[in-house]
Amino acid sequence: MRPTRFAIPTGAGAAVRLRAWVAAALCLMAGSALAQNCSVSVTATNFGTIDLTTGAAWTTTATFSTSCTNGPVNGSIRMCISFGTGTGGSTGSGSPRLLLSGANQLQYSLYTSAAYTTVWGSYSWAWSGTYPGVQIDIPTNAARAGSATRTIYGRISPSQQTLPTGTYASNFTTAHTLVRYANGTGGSCAAGTVTARTVRPTFTVRATYAPVCRVTASTLNFGSIGLLSSIRDAASALSVTCSNGTAYTAALDNGLGAGVTGPTARKMTGPASATVTYGIYRDAARSLAWGAGVGLVYSGTGAGTTQSVPVYGRVPVQATPRPGSYSDTIVVTITY
């Protein structure tokens, strides 16, 4: 066997070419060693200002975003997205999760679709069999890059009227999130075989339950009367719905009658501007007049559900006006 010989060129030009070749080789080696890299972010899940007294569910959305580099050429990166319970915790099964305002707990859940049927859970928590995380495959192009977004659907559970007002929140820190990813689609998120790289995004979930009150009223109907030679009483009610623990007052104006001097001397107006005097009271004994001034308003505290507040009316003895239909309109003002 004849030995192989080669010669190394000498001279300044040859040295420059040799250094360039070495540098190119080093760059090639470095490029082949780069692994896939994905950055991820999650926007805040903010329900805004809510009103639990309606008894309805409240919904919002957030967005999970990822951008990847150094993936396979025209291939894909498999990503496993796990969200735990957050600092609010859960009721003990992973769903519903909890938003906290002090010791008060507001139930909510995060879902994978607008149908609010599949809870977005975690591949690494105790309830993963029931509420798994989310698996996505991110296509990569010829430049080995790819990106994807996924909508997170938040829903506050209905029928939580009796909770007090406040700001309710839960923080998803790095202890409550886990995103795993790897090149290709061969790994299994559920089996935990997608483990090449991990990242832990953070985000918050928040809802503000501000004090609120609503009121409706039924008609105070004295019925049909002949002569006004005896007292005529009637009763109706206000339906007041205020957030639990919210103090409120209900004031009544003096109505539309002309020349009314107080809440027990309101005027119902009938034919040819004839009037019938009447009063509205806060108690069945008709001793506490109900108006709008100091000492004349009804005071209460909301329970989160609708409260029936009795309204007591009285038509005192007075001269009987001409026959006809007599009426008045009272404005109720709730202050809280």
Domains 35-209 and 213-335 share a fold: yes
> Which CATH superfamily does the domain covering 213-335 fall into?
Fimbrial-type adhesion domain (2.60.40.1090)
pLDDT per residue as tens digits for the range 231-265? 999 999 999 999 999 999 999 999 999 999 999 99
- 177-218 per-position pLDDT tens digit: 999 999 999 999 999 999 999 999 999 999 999 999 999 999
Candidates 55, 45, 47; CA nearest to 212 is: 55
Residue 53 DSSP symbol: G
**DSSP letter, residue 272:** G
Q: Do residues 308 and 267 lie in contact, with contact meaning Cβ atoms separated by under 8 Å?
A: no
Predicted confidence at residue 34, as pLDDT, reads 65
- Considering the four listed CATH numbers 3.30.870.10, 2.160.10.10, 2.60.40.1090, 1.10.150.20, the one that applies to the domain covering 35-209 is 2.60.40.1090
Q: Which two tokens stand for residue 29?
A: 């080696």
Question: Which among 249, 251, 336 has a CA at the least distance from the CA of 300?
Answer: 249
Per-residue CA distances from 117 to 131, 221, 300, 316 (Å): 11, 49, 40, 61
Sheet containing strand 275-281, edge to edge, reads 213-217, 232-242, 306-315, 275-281, 266-269
Q: What is the mean pLDDT of the chain?
A: 91
Q: Is the pLDDT of residue 16 over 80?
A: no
Instruction: Reply yes or no on whether the pLDDT at 33 is more than 80.
Output: no
**pLDDT of res. 41:** 98
Question: What are the structure tokens assigned to 213, written together?
Answer: 């009150």
Percentages (nearest 5) of helix, strand, coil residues in the chain: 10, 45, 50
Reported as type and span, the H/E element at residue 111 is: strand 104-111
Q: Domain coordinates of the chain in residue numbers?
A: 35-209, 213-335
Residue 14 scores a pLDDT above 70: no
Token pair of 164, please?
A: 């007090």
Q: What is the pLDDT of residue 127?
A: 83
Query: What global pTM score does this model have?
Result: 0.83
205 forms beta bridges with 45, 170
Q: For residue 73, give the amino acid letter.
A: V
Question: What's the CA gap between 309 and 334, in Å, rounded?
Answer: 12
Which of 7-11, 236-240, 256-260, 315-319 has the lowest average pLDDT? Answer: 7-11
> Which of 204, 170, 163 is CA-nearest to residue 90?
170
Provide the pLDDT confidence category of residue 3 given band limits of 50, 70 and 90.
very low
What pLDDT was estimated at residue 129?
Answer: 79
